[in-house]
């Protein structure tokens, strides 16, 4: 009997290409695609993305903030001869340890990571689309130079990107004054009057009301937004719990390893 595990890996694999001195090069491929298929995807993807991402936008390749600012997301892309597969791409730049190309040494080595997924998982990927680029920005901090593009590091990126789509990572949101939901990225977040923590694995959506003097109108808007989030993104599968006591809020934040300005986790 086939068991449908909702937390099984959602990505069909990862392909990473970098622009070597001689042209595009495949540095990692754990997919079912043969090397020539992966190379065709890399050449097409890097060509299209490269037109939108000129390498000389970096003034100082040693400046981490400038390097991180080059991360961009593209796609999805079709894969030639593989109608059942699609690819989302993320471009970034790393320092070159050694290159005969002065431009690469000056502006960095252009790289693209391709997230390969099954066509049937398109809805799942699109649900997390806005989170992919900022999440990759956080988890790829060890990819500083081309020597860091090794199987160990890239296998780690694959595993952690999979966690994003598996739903095992909690997602944190806030609600703006206009009632618009905004997703927050990272473990350290600025103080706001409300946080929504969605835990798909525990089927729970926690509404944390930080401000004890919040107006009834504001609360109503937050409850409506939380309900819409549960309906549209989680198909009404989460149980909504509202927390207003500071101690309860601190315990939830501690459980999810989140740090909020002005709240002591004890």
**Degrees to nearest 5, angle at CA 133 with 45 and 173:** 150
Dihedral of CA atoms 252, 192, 138, 46 in degrees, nearest 10, equals 130
Local confidence pLDDT in tens for the 266 residues of the chain: 233 444 555 789 999 999 888 878 899 999 999 999 999 999 988 888 875 555 556 677 777 777 777 788 887 888 888 889 999 999 999 988 888 888 888 888 889 999 999 988 887 787 777 778 888 888 888 899 889 999 999 999 998 888 888 767 788 889 988 888 888 876 567 888 899 998 888 889 999 998 888 899 999 999 999 998 888 878 888 999 999 998 898 888 888 877 777 665 55
Q: Which fold has domain 171-260?
A: Severin (3.40.20)
Please state the domain extents for the chain: 11-166, 171-260
Q: Which residues are paired to 23 by β-bridges?
A: 20
Q: Alpha carbon of 199 to those of 86, 207, 259: distances in Å?
A: 27, 12, 17
């Amino acid at each position: 009997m086939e068991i449908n595990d909702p937390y099984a890996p959602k990505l069909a694999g990862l392909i990473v290409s970098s622009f070597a001195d001689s042209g595009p090069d495949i540095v990692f491929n754990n997919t079912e695609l043969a090397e020539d298929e992966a190379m065709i995807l890399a050449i097409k993807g890097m060509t299209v993305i490269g037109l939108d991402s000129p390498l000389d936008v970096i003034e100082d390749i040693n400046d981490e903030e400038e390097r991180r600012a080059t991360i961009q997301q593209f796609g999805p892309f079709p894969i030639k001869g593989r109608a059942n597969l699609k690819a989302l791409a993320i471009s970034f730049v790393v320092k070159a340890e050694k290159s005969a190309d002065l431009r690469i040494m000056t502006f960095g080595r252009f790289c693209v990571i391709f997230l390969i997924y099954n066509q049937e998982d398109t809805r799942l990927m699109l649900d997390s689309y806005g989170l992919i680029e900022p999440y990759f920005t956080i988890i790829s901090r060890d990819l500083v130079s081309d020597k860091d593009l090794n199987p160990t590091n890239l296998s780690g990126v694959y595993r952690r990107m999979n966690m994003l789509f598996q739903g095992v990572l909690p997602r944190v949101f806030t609600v703006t004054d206009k009632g618009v939901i905004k997703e927050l990225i990272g473990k350290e977040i600025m103080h706001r009057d409300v946080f929504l923590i969605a835990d798909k694995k525990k089927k729970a959506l926690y509404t944390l009301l930080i401000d004890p003097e919040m107006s009834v109108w504001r609360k109503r808007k937050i409850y409506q937004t939380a309900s819409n989030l549960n309906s549209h993104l989680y198909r009404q599968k989460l149980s909504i719990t509202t927390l207003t006591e500071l101690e309860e809020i601190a315990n939830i934040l501690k459980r999810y390893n989140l740090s909020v300005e002005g709240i002591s986790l004890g």
